[in-house]
Chain A
Protein backbone atom coordinates (compact mmCIF):
# COMPACT_ATOMS: atom_id res chain seq x y z
CA UNK A 1 0.00 0.00 0.00
CA UNK A 2 2.81 2.37 1.02
CA UNK A 3 4.77 1.63 -2.15
CA UNK A 4 1.65 2.26 -4.26
CA UNK A 5 1.29 5.70 -2.64
CA UNK A 6 4.97 6.44 -3.25
CA UNK A 7 4.63 5.54 -6.94
CA UNK A 8 1.57 7.79 -7.20
CA UNK A 9 3.47 10.64 -5.57
CA UNK A 10 6.37 10.10 -7.94
CA UNK A 11 4.15 10.34 -11.04
CA UNK A 12 2.34 13.39 -9.69
CA UNK A 13 5.66 15.14 -9.04
CA UNK A 14 6.86 14.16 -12.50
CA UNK A 15 3.68 15.60 -14.02
CA UNK A 16 4.03 18.86 -12.06
CA UNK A 17 7.69 19.14 -13.12
CA UNK A 18 7.04 18.57 -16.81
CA UNK A 19 3.98 20.79 -16.93
CA UNK A 20 6.00 23.61 -15.36
CA UNK A 21 8.78 23.05 -17.90
CA UNK A 22 6.30 23.04 -20.76
CA UNK A 23 4.52 26.22 -19.58
CA UNK A 24 7.80 28.09 -18.83
CA UNK A 25 8.45 30.70 -21.50
CA UNK A 26 11.72 31.95 -22.91
CA UNK A 27 12.35 35.65 -23.49
CA UNK A 28 15.21 37.51 -25.13
CA UNK A 29 16.55 40.84 -23.95
CA UNK A 30 19.23 42.39 -26.14
CA UNK A 31 22.06 44.63 -25.00
CA UNK A 32 22.29 47.24 -27.72
CA UNK A 33 23.87 50.71 -27.71
CA UNK A 34 24.24 50.37 -23.97
CA UNK A 35 20.53 49.78 -23.43
CA UNK A 36 18.35 46.79 -22.59
CA UNK A 37 16.13 46.22 -25.63
CA UNK A 38 13.10 43.95 -25.97
CA UNK A 39 11.27 43.53 -29.28
CA UNK A 40 13.17 46.49 -30.71
CA UNK A 41 12.31 48.95 -27.91
CA UNK A 42 14.01 50.11 -24.72
CA UNK A 43 12.79 48.01 -21.80
CA UNK A 44 12.92 49.31 -18.23
CA UNK A 45 10.46 46.87 -16.71
CA UNK A 46 9.15 43.50 -17.85
CA UNK A 47 6.94 40.86 -16.32
CA UNK A 48 7.60 37.13 -16.52
CA UNK A 49 6.15 34.03 -14.88
CA UNK A 50 7.87 31.89 -12.26
CA UNK A 51 10.13 29.45 -14.13
CA UNK A 52 10.56 31.66 -17.20
CA UNK A 53 14.00 32.01 -18.76
CA UNK A 54 15.51 35.25 -20.03
CA UNK A 55 18.36 35.23 -22.56
CA UNK A 56 20.54 38.32 -22.38
CA UNK A 57 22.16 38.75 -25.78
CA UNK A 58 25.04 41.15 -26.36
CA UNK A 59 24.61 43.02 -29.66
CA UNK A 60 27.21 45.73 -28.95
CA UNK A 61 30.82 45.69 -30.19
CA UNK A 62 32.07 45.86 -26.59
CA UNK A 63 31.72 43.46 -23.66
CA UNK A 64 28.69 43.60 -21.39
CA UNK A 65 27.86 42.15 -18.00
CA UNK A 66 24.52 41.28 -16.43
CA UNK A 67 24.06 40.87 -12.70
CA UNK A 68 21.47 41.07 -9.97
CA UNK A 69 21.87 41.13 -6.21
CA UNK A 70 18.12 40.96 -5.62
CA UNK A 71 16.54 38.76 -2.92
CA UNK A 72 14.64 36.59 -5.42
CA UNK A 73 17.62 36.03 -7.70
CA UNK A 74 21.28 36.74 -7.19
CA UNK A 75 23.52 36.12 -10.20
CA UNK A 76 26.53 37.46 -12.09
CA UNK A 77 26.92 36.47 -15.74
CA UNK A 78 30.49 37.83 -15.97
CA UNK A 79 31.44 39.74 -19.10
CA UNK A 80 30.83 38.48 -22.62
CA UNK A 81 31.31 39.77 -26.18
CA UNK A 82 29.08 40.60 -29.13
CA UNK A 83 26.91 37.75 -30.40
CA UNK A 84 27.07 35.79 -27.13
CA UNK A 85 24.03 35.16 -25.02
CA UNK A 86 23.67 34.06 -21.38
CA UNK A 87 20.47 33.07 -19.69
CA UNK A 88 18.86 33.13 -16.26
CA UNK A 89 15.80 31.24 -15.02
CA UNK A 90 13.68 33.28 -12.61
CA UNK A 91 12.35 30.67 -10.23
CA UNK A 92 10.90 32.77 -7.43
CA UNK A 93 8.15 35.39 -7.41
CA UNK A 94 9.05 39.00 -6.67
CA UNK A 95 11.07 41.78 -8.28
CA UNK A 96 14.67 41.56 -9.49
CA UNK A 97 16.77 44.58 -10.40
CA UNK A 98 19.08 43.74 -13.24
CA UNK A 99 22.05 45.84 -14.24
CA UNK A 100 25.22 45.83 -16.36
CA UNK A 101 28.07 46.41 -13.92
CA UNK A 102 30.29 47.77 -16.67
CA UNK A 103 27.69 50.28 -17.89
CA UNK A 104 25.41 51.07 -14.91
CA UNK A 105 23.10 53.20 -17.04
CA UNK A 106 21.81 49.83 -18.27
CA UNK A 107 19.24 49.01 -15.63
CA UNK A 108 15.92 47.20 -15.67
CA UNK A 109 13.40 45.58 -13.35
CA UNK A 110 11.99 42.13 -13.81
CA UNK A 111 8.76 41.33 -12.07
CA UNK A 112 8.32 37.61 -11.58
CA UNK A 113 4.69 36.50 -11.03
Chain B
Protein backbone atom coordinates (compact mmCIF):
# COMPACT_ATOMS: atom_id res chain seq x y z
CA UNK B 1 0.00 0.00 0.00
CA UNK B 2 1.23 3.48 -0.78
CA UNK B 3 -0.13 5.59 1.95
CA UNK B 4 1.82 8.75 2.18
CA UNK B 5 2.16 11.42 -0.52
CA UNK B 6 5.95 10.88 -0.37
CA UNK B 7 5.56 7.17 -1.13
CA UNK B 8 3.34 7.93 -4.11
CA UNK B 9 5.85 10.40 -5.55
CA UNK B 10 8.71 7.93 -5.06
CA UNK B 11 6.66 5.18 -6.75
CA UNK B 12 5.81 7.42 -9.71
CA UNK B 13 9.46 8.40 -10.11
CA UNK B 14 10.54 4.76 -10.02
CA UNK B 15 7.84 3.81 -12.54
CA UNK B 16 8.92 6.67 -14.74
CA UNK B 17 12.59 5.59 -14.65
CA UNK B 18 11.69 1.94 -15.32
CA UNK B 19 9.46 2.81 -18.27
CA UNK B 20 12.14 5.12 -19.69
CA UNK B 21 14.71 2.32 -19.46
CA UNK B 22 12.19 -0.02 -21.07
CA UNK B 23 11.59 2.42 -23.91
CA UNK B 24 15.33 2.87 -24.41
CA UNK B 25 15.81 -0.91 -24.57
CA UNK B 26 12.95 -1.22 -27.05
CA UNK B 27 14.30 1.66 -29.15
CA UNK B 28 17.75 0.06 -29.13
CA UNK B 29 16.45 -3.35 -30.14
CA UNK B 30 14.23 -1.78 -32.83
CA UNK B 31 17.15 0.16 -34.28
CA UNK B 32 19.24 -3.03 -34.18
CA UNK B 33 16.51 -4.82 -36.16
CA UNK B 34 16.45 -1.96 -38.66
CA UNK B 35 19.82 -2.84 -40.14
CA UNK B 36 20.35 -5.46 -42.86
CA UNK B 37 22.74 -8.32 -42.10
CA UNK B 38 26.37 -7.92 -43.10
CA UNK B 39 26.72 -9.19 -46.64
CA UNK B 40 23.09 -8.57 -47.63
CA UNK B 41 24.03 -5.57 -49.77
CA UNK B 42 26.55 -7.59 -51.81
CA UNK B 43 24.03 -10.39 -52.37
CA UNK B 44 20.82 -8.45 -53.00
CA UNK B 45 21.82 -5.23 -54.80
CA UNK B 46 21.68 -5.31 -58.59
CA UNK B 47 25.14 -5.20 -60.20
CA UNK B 48 25.70 -2.11 -62.33
CA UNK B 49 26.72 -3.98 -65.49
CA UNK B 50 24.70 -6.52 -67.45
CA UNK B 51 26.14 -9.61 -69.18
CA UNK B 52 26.33 -9.27 -72.96
CA UNK B 53 27.49 -11.70 -75.64
CA UNK B 54 30.64 -10.66 -77.51
CA UNK B 55 28.80 -10.81 -80.85
CA UNK B 56 26.08 -8.40 -79.73
CA UNK B 57 27.56 -5.71 -77.52
CA UNK B 58 25.12 -2.93 -76.77
CA UNK B 59 25.18 0.29 -78.82
CA UNK B 60 22.59 3.10 -78.84
CA UNK B 61 21.74 2.19 -82.47
CA UNK B 62 21.05 -1.45 -81.54
CA UNK B 63 18.90 -0.52 -78.56
CA UNK B 64 16.96 2.04 -80.64
CA UNK B 65 16.25 -0.49 -83.40
CA UNK B 66 15.38 -3.19 -80.87
CA UNK B 67 12.90 -0.93 -79.13
CA UNK B 68 11.15 -0.12 -82.41
CA UNK B 69 10.92 -3.80 -83.32
CA UNK B 70 9.68 -4.64 -79.81
CA UNK B 71 6.72 -2.30 -80.18
CA UNK B 72 6.06 -2.97 -83.88
CA UNK B 73 3.03 -5.19 -84.68
CA UNK B 74 4.57 -5.91 -88.10
CA UNK B 75 6.48 -8.62 -86.26
CA UNK B 76 3.33 -10.78 -86.07
CA UNK B 77 1.63 -12.66 -88.87
CA UNK B 78 -1.52 -10.64 -88.27
CA UNK B 79 0.39 -7.31 -88.08
CA UNK B 80 -1.63 -6.77 -84.93
CA UNK B 81 0.47 -8.17 -82.08
CA UNK B 82 3.83 -6.78 -81.02
CA UNK B 83 6.18 -8.07 -78.31
CA UNK B 84 4.88 -5.15 -76.24
CA UNK B 85 1.29 -6.41 -76.54
CA UNK B 86 2.01 -9.14 -74.00
CA UNK B 87 5.12 -7.59 -72.43
CA UNK B 88 3.39 -4.31 -71.69
CA UNK B 89 5.59 -1.84 -69.74
CA UNK B 90 2.46 -0.40 -68.11
CA UNK B 91 1.72 -3.84 -66.63
CA UNK B 92 5.14 -4.72 -65.23
CA UNK B 93 6.28 -5.83 -68.73
CA UNK B 94 3.64 -8.55 -68.66
CA UNK B 95 -0.10 -8.56 -69.56
CA UNK B 96 -2.06 -8.90 -66.32
CA UNK B 97 -3.75 -12.03 -67.69
CA UNK B 98 -3.98 -15.50 -66.16
CA UNK B 99 -2.40 -16.97 -69.27
CA UNK B 100 -1.34 -15.22 -72.46
CA UNK B 101 -3.61 -14.56 -75.45
CA UNK B 102 -1.95 -15.14 -78.80
CA UNK B 103 -2.71 -15.29 -82.53
CA UNK B 104 -6.44 -15.33 -83.36
CA UNK B 105 -7.21 -14.60 -79.68
CA UNK B 106 -6.10 -18.07 -78.73
CA UNK B 107 -5.76 -18.48 -74.96
CA UNK B 108 -2.38 -20.09 -74.31
CA UNK B 109 -1.29 -22.55 -71.62
CA UNK B 110 1.28 -20.43 -69.80
CA UNK B 111 1.30 -16.94 -68.38
CA UNK B 112 3.41 -14.16 -69.85
CA UNK B 113 6.60 -13.76 -67.82
CA UNK B 114 7.91 -10.24 -67.25
CA UNK B 115 10.96 -9.33 -69.31
CA UNK B 116 12.40 -7.36 -66.38
CA UNK B 117 16.02 -8.43 -65.74
CA UNK B 118 15.86 -11.21 -68.36
CA UNK B 119 19.34 -10.05 -69.42
CA UNK B 120 20.66 -11.54 -66.21
CA UNK B 121 19.00 -14.95 -66.70
CA UNK B 122 21.03 -17.99 -67.71
CA UNK B 123 18.12 -19.63 -69.52
CA UNK B 124 15.03 -18.14 -71.15
CA UNK B 125 11.32 -19.11 -71.22
CA UNK B 126 9.40 -20.82 -68.39
CA UNK B 127 11.01 -24.14 -69.38
CA UNK B 128 14.47 -22.69 -70.14
CA UNK B 129 14.50 -24.01 -73.69
CA UNK B 130 16.74 -21.19 -74.98
CA UNK B 131 20.06 -20.04 -73.58
CA UNK B 132 20.32 -16.62 -75.17
CA UNK B 133 18.00 -13.62 -75.36
CA UNK B 134 18.92 -13.37 -79.05
CA UNK B 135 17.29 -16.75 -79.74
CA UNK B 136 14.49 -16.24 -77.23
CA UNK B 137 13.42 -13.05 -78.99
CA UNK B 138 12.62 -14.97 -82.18
CA UNK B 139 10.72 -17.77 -80.42
CA UNK B 140 7.35 -16.07 -79.83
CA UNK B 141 7.49 -14.39 -83.27
CA UNK B 142 7.46 -17.74 -85.09
CA UNK B 143 5.32 -19.65 -82.58
CA UNK B 144 1.98 -20.45 -84.32
CA UNK B 145 0.04 -19.84 -81.12
CA UNK B 146 1.74 -16.55 -80.30
CA UNK B 147 2.69 -14.17 -83.11
CA UNK B 148 2.47 -16.69 -85.98
CA UNK B 149 4.97 -14.94 -88.24
CA UNK B 150 7.16 -16.40 -90.94
CA UNK B 151 10.66 -14.99 -90.44
CA UNK B 152 11.46 -14.85 -94.19
CA UNK B 153 8.24 -12.95 -94.69
CA UNK B 154 9.12 -10.59 -91.84
CA UNK B 155 12.56 -9.86 -93.33
CA UNK B 156 10.83 -9.09 -96.64
CA UNK B 157 8.34 -6.76 -94.92
CA UNK B 158 11.07 -4.89 -93.04
CA UNK B 159 13.22 -4.56 -96.17
CA UNK B 160 10.30 -2.78 -97.80
CA UNK B 161 10.49 -0.02 -95.17
CA UNK B 162 13.41 2.35 -96.03
CA UNK B 163 13.67 3.68 -92.46
CA UNK B 164 14.16 0.14 -91.13
CA UNK B 165 16.75 -0.64 -93.80
CA UNK B 166 18.73 2.42 -92.64
CA UNK B 167 18.33 1.54 -88.95
CA UNK B 168 19.53 -2.05 -89.49
CA UNK B 169 22.51 -0.75 -91.49
CA UNK B 170 23.47 1.58 -88.65
CA UNK B 171 23.01 -1.07 -85.95
CA UNK B 172 24.36 -4.14 -87.75
CA UNK B 173 26.37 -2.94 -90.78
CA UNK B 174 27.59 -6.46 -91.61
CA UNK B 175 24.19 -8.11 -91.40
CA UNK B 176 21.58 -5.58 -92.56
CA UNK B 177 17.95 -6.67 -92.30
CA UNK B 178 18.21 -10.34 -91.33
CA UNK B 179 16.63 -12.88 -88.99
CA UNK B 180 19.62 -12.91 -86.65
CA UNK B 181 19.84 -9.13 -86.54
CA UNK B 182 16.14 -8.97 -85.57
CA UNK B 183 16.83 -11.25 -82.60
CA UNK B 184 19.98 -9.38 -81.66
CA UNK B 185 18.34 -5.96 -81.76
CA UNK B 186 15.39 -7.03 -79.62
CA UNK B 187 17.79 -8.67 -77.14
CA UNK B 188 19.79 -5.43 -76.96
CA UNK B 189 16.64 -3.54 -76.05
CA UNK B 190 15.56 -6.17 -73.52
CA UNK B 191 18.92 -5.83 -71.74
CA UNK B 192 17.98 -2.22 -70.95
CA UNK B 193 14.84 -3.34 -69.08
CA UNK B 194 16.31 -3.71 -65.62
CA UNK B 195 14.90 -3.33 -62.14
CA UNK B 196 14.99 0.11 -60.57
CA UNK B 197 15.79 0.85 -56.94
CA UNK B 198 13.03 -0.06 -54.48
CA UNK B 199 12.47 0.69 -50.77
CA UNK B 200 14.34 -2.54 -50.07
CA UNK B 201 17.41 -1.44 -52.10
CA UNK B 202 17.51 1.97 -50.43
CA UNK B 203 17.33 0.27 -47.04
CA UNK B 204 20.22 -2.04 -48.02
CA UNK B 205 22.26 0.97 -49.11
CA UNK B 206 21.65 2.66 -45.78
CA UNK B 207 19.71 5.46 -47.48
CA UNK B 208 16.48 7.03 -46.32
CA UNK B 209 13.79 4.47 -47.13
CA UNK B 210 10.14 3.84 -46.47
CA UNK B 211 10.89 0.14 -45.84
CA UNK B 212 8.49 -0.71 -43.01
CA UNK B 213 9.38 -2.70 -39.92
CA UNK B 214 6.94 -5.36 -41.13
CA UNK B 215 8.81 -5.57 -44.45
CA UNK B 216 12.14 -5.90 -42.62
CA UNK B 217 10.74 -8.73 -40.57
CA UNK B 218 9.34 -10.20 -43.79
CA UNK B 219 12.85 -10.19 -45.25
CA UNK B 220 14.12 -12.06 -42.20
CA UNK B 221 11.35 -14.64 -42.68
CA UNK B 222 12.12 -14.78 -46.40
CA UNK B 223 15.68 -15.83 -45.59
CA UNK B 224 14.71 -18.07 -42.69
CA UNK B 225 11.50 -19.70 -41.61
CA UNK B 226 9.63 -19.16 -44.88
CA UNK B 227 12.46 -20.80 -46.89
CA UNK B 228 11.86 -18.58 -49.95
CA UNK B 229 15.62 -18.08 -50.26
CA UNK B 230 16.05 -21.75 -51.18
CA UNK B 231 15.12 -20.80 -54.75
CA UNK B 232 14.61 -17.02 -54.83
CA UNK B 233 18.18 -16.01 -54.10
CA UNK B 234 20.58 -13.33 -55.36
CA UNK B 235 19.74 -9.75 -56.35
CA UNK B 236 17.18 -10.96 -58.90
CA UNK B 237 15.56 -13.27 -56.34
CA UNK B 238 15.90 -16.18 -58.78
CA UNK B 239 18.31 -19.11 -58.85
CA UNK B 240 18.18 -19.71 -62.61
CA UNK B 241 16.86 -23.11 -61.57
CA UNK B 242 13.80 -25.30 -62.10
CA UNK B 243 11.43 -26.58 -59.44
CA UNK B 244 8.08 -28.32 -59.18
CA UNK B 245 6.44 -26.19 -56.50
CA UNK B 246 3.42 -28.46 -56.11
CA UNK B 247 0.69 -26.37 -57.73
CA UNK B 248 -2.59 -28.26 -57.31
CA UNK B 249 -3.77 -27.29 -60.82
CA UNK B 250 -0.62 -28.16 -62.75
CA UNK B 251 -0.76 -30.64 -65.62
CA UNK B 252 2.10 -29.14 -67.63
CA UNK B 253 5.31 -31.21 -67.62
CA UNK B 254 7.41 -28.02 -67.99
CA UNK B 255 11.17 -28.50 -67.99
CA UNK B 256 10.80 -32.28 -68.34
CA UNK B 257 10.00 -31.75 -72.04
CA UNK B 258 13.53 -30.34 -72.42
CA UNK B 259 15.44 -32.47 -69.87
CA UNK B 260 14.13 -35.99 -69.34
CA UNK B 261 15.18 -36.17 -65.71
CA UNK B 262 12.56 -37.20 -63.15
CA UNK B 263 13.06 -34.21 -60.84
CA UNK B 264 12.15 -31.96 -63.77
CA UNK B 265 8.58 -33.28 -64.07
CA UNK B 266 6.26 -30.29 -63.67
CA UNK B 267 9.26 -28.06 -62.92
CA UNK B 268 9.45 -24.45 -64.10
CA UNK B 269 12.06 -21.74 -63.95
CA UNK B 270 12.18 -19.68 -60.77
CA UNK B 271 10.89 -16.24 -61.76
CA UNK B 272 12.35 -12.96 -60.50
CA UNK B 273 10.61 -11.34 -57.54
CA UNK B 274 11.69 -7.86 -58.59
CA UNK B 275 8.49 -5.83 -59.18
CA UNK B 276 6.48 -8.90 -58.19
CA UNK B 277 3.80 -6.59 -56.82
CA UNK B 278 3.13 -5.44 -60.42
CA UNK B 279 2.95 -8.78 -62.22
CA UNK B 280 -0.18 -10.61 -60.99
CA UNK B 281 -1.52 -13.22 -61.69
CA UNK B 282 1.25 -15.52 -60.50
CA UNK B 283 2.89 -18.86 -61.38
CA UNK B 284 3.49 -20.34 -64.85
CA UNK B 285 -0.23 -21.05 -65.23
CA UNK B 286 -1.52 -17.89 -63.55
CA UNK B 287 -3.12 -20.07 -60.89
CA UNK B 288 -3.02 -17.41 -58.19
CA UNK B 289 -4.51 -13.95 -58.56
CA UNK B 290 -2.82 -12.36 -55.56
CA UNK B 291 0.40 -12.56 -53.58
CA UNK B 292 -1.67 -13.52 -50.53
CA UNK B 293 -2.74 -16.68 -52.36
CA UNK B 294 0.87 -17.34 -53.34
CA UNK B 295 1.98 -17.10 -49.70
CA UNK B 296 -0.87 -19.42 -48.62
CA UNK B 297 0.29 -21.93 -51.22
CA UNK B 298 3.89 -21.96 -50.00
CA UNK B 299 2.68 -22.08 -46.40
CA UNK B 300 0.79 -25.27 -47.27
CA UNK B 301 3.93 -26.92 -48.66
CA UNK B 302 2.36 -27.68 -52.05
CA UNK B 303 0.95 -30.88 -53.46
CA UNK B 304 2.71 -33.49 -55.58
CA UNK B 305 1.78 -33.25 -59.26
CA UNK B 306 2.95 -35.46 -62.15
CA UNK B 307 4.53 -37.62 -59.44
CA UNK B 308 6.95 -34.92 -58.38
CA UNK B 309 7.44 -32.21 -55.76
CA UNK B 310 10.59 -30.21 -55.09
CA UNK B 311 11.96 -31.40 -51.73
CA UNK B 312 12.61 -27.79 -50.71
CA UNK B 313 8.81 -27.47 -50.44
CA UNK B 314 7.43 -28.16 -46.97
CA UNK B 315 4.65 -26.81 -44.75
CA UNK B 316 5.85 -23.57 -43.14
CA UNK B 317 3.37 -23.00 -40.28
CA UNK B 318 3.53 -19.21 -40.63
CA UNK B 319 1.34 -17.11 -38.35
CA UNK B 320 -1.07 -14.52 -39.74
CA UNK B 321 1.36 -11.75 -38.79
CA UNK B 322 4.29 -13.56 -40.44
CA UNK B 323 2.34 -14.00 -43.67
CA UNK B 324 1.43 -10.33 -43.64
CA UNK B 325 5.08 -9.33 -43.02
CA UNK B 326 6.20 -11.53 -45.88
CA UNK B 327 3.70 -9.79 -48.16
CA UNK B 328 5.03 -6.39 -47.03
CA UNK B 329 8.53 -7.49 -47.91
CA UNK B 330 7.50 -8.68 -51.38
CA UNK B 331 5.82 -5.32 -52.01
CA UNK B 332 9.00 -3.52 -50.89
CA UNK B 333 10.67 -5.00 -54.01
CA UNK B 334 8.64 -2.77 -56.33
CA UNK B 335 11.17 -0.50 -58.01
CA UNK B 336 10.71 3.18 -58.87
CA UNK B 337 8.45 3.66 -61.88
CA UNK B 338 10.35 3.48 -65.16
CA UNK B 339 10.02 6.27 -67.67
CA UNK B 340 9.32 4.37 -70.90
CA UNK B 341 8.96 6.31 -74.14
CA UNK B 342 7.05 4.64 -76.94
CA UNK B 343 8.81 4.96 -80.31
CA UNK B 344 7.16 6.41 -83.40
CA UNK B 345 7.13 3.54 -85.90
CA UNK B 346 8.01 4.02 -89.56
CA UNK B 347 5.10 4.05 -92.00
CA UNK B 348 5.10 2.82 -95.60
CA UNK B 349 4.13 5.65 -97.93
Q: Identify which of residues 237-267 in chain B touch chain A, using a CB-to-CB cut-off of 8 Å.
A: 239-243, 255, 259-264, 267
State in angstroms the CA–CA spacing of A80 and B128 once bound together: 22
- Any chain A CB within 8 A of the CB of B311? yes
> A103 near B239 (CB under 8 angstroms)?
yes
Known: A34-B239, A61-B230. A101 touches B259 (CB 8 A): yes
> B231 near A62 (CB under 8 angstroms)?
yes
Q: Identify which of residues 50-105 in chain B touch chain A, using a CB-to-CB cut-off of 8 Å.
A: none
- Any chain A CB within 8 A of the CB of B123? yes
> B312 near A62 (CB under 8 angstroms)?
yes
Instruction: Name the distance in Å between A62's Cβ and chain B's nearest Cβ.
Output: 5
State in angstroms the CA–CA spacing of A103 and B267 once bound together: 12
Which residues does chain A contribute within 8 Å of B242, judged by CB atoms?
A: 101-102, 104
Which of A34, A69, A79 gathers most chain B CB within 10 Å? A79
> A76 near B261 (CB under 8 angstroms)?
yes
Instruction: Name the distance in Å between B199's Cβ and chain A's nearest Cβ.
Output: 27
> B230 near A102 (CB under 8 angstroms)?
no
- Any chain A CB within 8 A of the CB of B190? no
Instruction: Give the residue name and chain of the B residue nearest to A102 (CB).
Output: B241
Which residues does chain B contribute within 8 Å of A105, judged by CB atoms?
A: 122, 240
> B263 near A79 (CB under 8 angstroms)?
yes
Known: A61-B230, A63-B310, A63-B311. A104 touches B262 (CB 8 A): no
Chain B interface residue bracket vs A = 20 to 34
Which residues does chain A contribute within 8 Å of B231, judged by CB atoms?
A: 62
State in angstroms the CA–CA spacing of A104 and B130 once bound together: 12
Instruction: Name the distance in Å between B343's Cβ and chain A's nearest Cβ.
Output: 34
Instruction: Give the residue name and chain of the A residue nearest to B269 (CB).
Output: A104
> B239 near A65 (CB under 8 angstroms)?
no
Instruction: Name the distance in Å between A113's Cβ and chain B's nearest Cβ.
Output: 27
- Any chain B CB within 8 A of the CB of A67? yes
- Any chain B CB within 8 A of the CB of A83? no
State in angstroms the CA–CA spacing of A34 and B229 once bound together: 14
Which residues does chain B contribute within 8 Å of A101, judged by CB atoms?
A: 242, 255, 259, 261, 263-264
Which residues does chain B contribute within 8 Å of A69, judged by CB atoms?
A: 260-261
Instruction: Give the residue name and chain of the A residue nearest to B264 (CB).
Output: A101
State in angstroms the CA–CA spacing of A81 and B310 once bound together: 11
> A65 near B263 (CB under 8 angstroms)?
yes
Instruction: Give the residue name and chain of the B residue nearest to A65 (CB).
Output: B263
Known: A34-B239, A104-B241. A65 touches B261 (CB 8 A): yes
Q: Identify which of residues 30-86 in chain A touch chain B, using a CB-to-CB cut-off of 8 Å.
A: 34, 61-63, 65, 67, 69, 76, 78-79, 81
Instruction: Name the distance in Å between B122's Cβ and chain A's nearest Cβ.
Output: 5
> B261 near A62 (CB under 8 angstroms)?
no
Known: A34-B239, A81-B311. A104 touches B261 (CB 8 A): no
State in angstroms the CA–CA spacing of A76 and B259 once bound together: 11
Instruction: Give the residue name and chain of the B residue nearest to A61 (CB).
Output: B230
> B241 near A76 (CB under 8 angstroms)?
no
Instruction: Name the distance in Å between A82's Cβ and chain B's nearest Cβ.
Output: 11
> B259 near A63 (CB under 8 angstroms)?
no
Which residues does chain A contribute within 8 Å of B128, judged by CB atoms?
A: 104
State in angstroms the CA–CA spacing of A105 and B310 once bound together: 18
**16 further A-B pairs in the complex, CB-CB below 8 A; given A65-B261, A102-B267:** A34-B239, A61-B230, A62-B231, A62-B312, A76-B261, A76-B262, A76-B263, A78-B262, A79-B263, A101-B264, A102-B263, A102-B310, A104-B123, A104-B240, A105-B122, A105-B240
B residues in contact (CB < 8 Å) with A: 122-123, 128, 230-231, 239-243, 255, 259-264, 267, 310-312
- Of the A-B pairs whose beta carbons lie under 8 Å apart in the complex, a sample of 26, sorted by A's number, is A62-B230, A62-B231, A63-B310, A63-B311, A65-B261, A65-B263, A69-B260, A76-B261, A76-B262, A78-B262, A78-B263, A79-B311, A101-B255, A101-B259, A101-B264, A102-B241, A102-B242, A102-B263, A102-B267, A103-B239, A103-B240, A103-B241, A104-B128, A104-B240, A105-B122, A105-B240
